[in-house]
Amino acid sequence: MSVYHRGSKVVDLWGGHFDVAGTTRYSEDTLQLVFSTTKGITAIAVAMCVERGLLSFSEKVSTYWPEFSAHGKADATVAQLLSHQCGLYTVDGDISLAEALDWGTITSRLADTAPRWPIGAQHGYHALTYGWLAGELVRRVDPQGRSLGAFVRDEIVDRVGAELWIGLPAEHEHRVSPMIGGLNPGGGDGVDPAVKAMLEHFMGPNSPAGQALSLNGAFSVDGAFNRRDVHEAEIPAANAITNARSLARIYAATIGEIDGVRLLDPNTVEVARSTVTPAGEPDACLIMPTTFGMGFMTHGQFTPYSGPGSFGHPGAGGSVAFAQPERELSFAYVMNRMAENLANDRRAQALTDAAAACADAASR
């Protein structure tokens, strides 16, 4: 875990084992895949494009990406896409893992997919597709035509002096600690059959959640996110490989200066962290209410972070990174041993609460 307060790194801790056998210690040099914590980094990239006048949250997606207008999507706005309101949590038809890892194939498939509900009528977690949708917008408007991974490297990571890749170079693969365990939407052994059937209905492979989390089964391959081909691809919703200190540093640079670098203007942050999904509206994929701003998950029941004003993103199994301008606080936690939940991991939340308490004590 790592914490920045008032622009300074005040906590940087690591521990445990690198591998499931426990033969190697987790070290300062270890890198970790962080699943959907990636989405917050992608959201920062999009916000930077907005701040530079390359994108507008209120403009139609099809203005920048004409092919996106297929199947009644012509009037969908960038804001609706970023807040998971476009009903594109998966693609139409079957898709293989190899096809999903090919940028041109997956973005073309998404452009040619019909929304699962009238755009703007509700919201539902675009667990994997969010990254390709947002990333294609960045690629389309970037004057250099860079991929999302290249944009993040050049405009975020290198500028703040961090380590984070969306598309990991082969020379760093040996540093990546494998993910241990996984999500268990079925509830595990010993669960009442009636409860198990209910969970299967809402979270099973044929449910909206199951389709969103696996892209119609493409990512259901055992150990998919420990594979080299998945690590080297660009999946801007789910495959950033980094460490806690880098995530905390990047978020600190969105709300203040870090060694003279600030990534986002305060006005941009204010817009990006404002919740736009209706209060209490159930997530069409995750069932319980979720709260979204411009690509960030905002403070709410599903993502409490350190309280109101916090914005960032959690990742499956426990990772999380966020900032809270009111406390001048940024926080990140990464792990290799997965909890069986998508967000609000108890390990991370206990550390978050401690960090917030320390920040408050330092302000007295």
Q: Tell me whether residue 194 is in a domain.
A: no
Q: Which two tokens stand for residue 228?
A: 């080299």
pLDDT tier for residue 187 given thresholds of 50, 70 and 90: very low
> Is 359 a member of any domain?
yes
Computed from CA positions of residues 217, 131, 319, 187, in that sequence, does the dihedral angle turn out positive or negative? negative
Provide, rounded to the nearest whole percent, the portion of the chain with pLDDT above 90. Answer: 90
Number of H helices, E strands in the chain: 14, 10
Active site residues: 36
Return the amino acid letter for 268.
T
Task: Report the 10 Å Cβ neighbour count for 74.
Answer: 14
Amino acid (1-letter code) at residue 303 = T
Question: How far is Cα 214 from Cα 52, in angstroms, rounded to an integer?
Answer: 34
Domain span including residue 307: 2-180+221-363
Domain assignment present for 188: no
Instruction: Tell me how many domains the chain contains.
Output: 1
List the one residue out of 14, 211, 8, 47 whose CA is nearest residue 126.
211
Does residue 205 lie within any of the structural domains? no
Predicted local confidence at residue 194, as pLDDT:
56
pLDDT tens for 242-280 read 999 999 999 999 999 999 999 999 999 999 999 999 999
Whether 138 is covered by a domain: the verdict is yes
CA dihedral angle for residue 53, residue 294, residue 348, residue 161, rounded to 10 degrees = -10
Please tell me the distance from the alpha carbon of residue 111 to that of residue 107, in angstroms, as a whole number: 6
Tens-place pLDDT, residues 115-163: 999 999 999 999 999 999 999 999 999 999 999 999 999 999 999 999 9
Q: Residue 264, SS3?
A: coil
Q: How far is CA 143 from CA 12, 253, 334, in A?
A: 36, 23, 33
Q: Quick count: other Cβ atoms within 10 Å of Cβ 249?
A: 26
Q: What one-character-per-residue DSSP string does 109-130 give? A: HHHTPPPSS-TTS-----TTHH
Q: What is the CATH number of the domain that holds 134?
A: 3.40.710.10
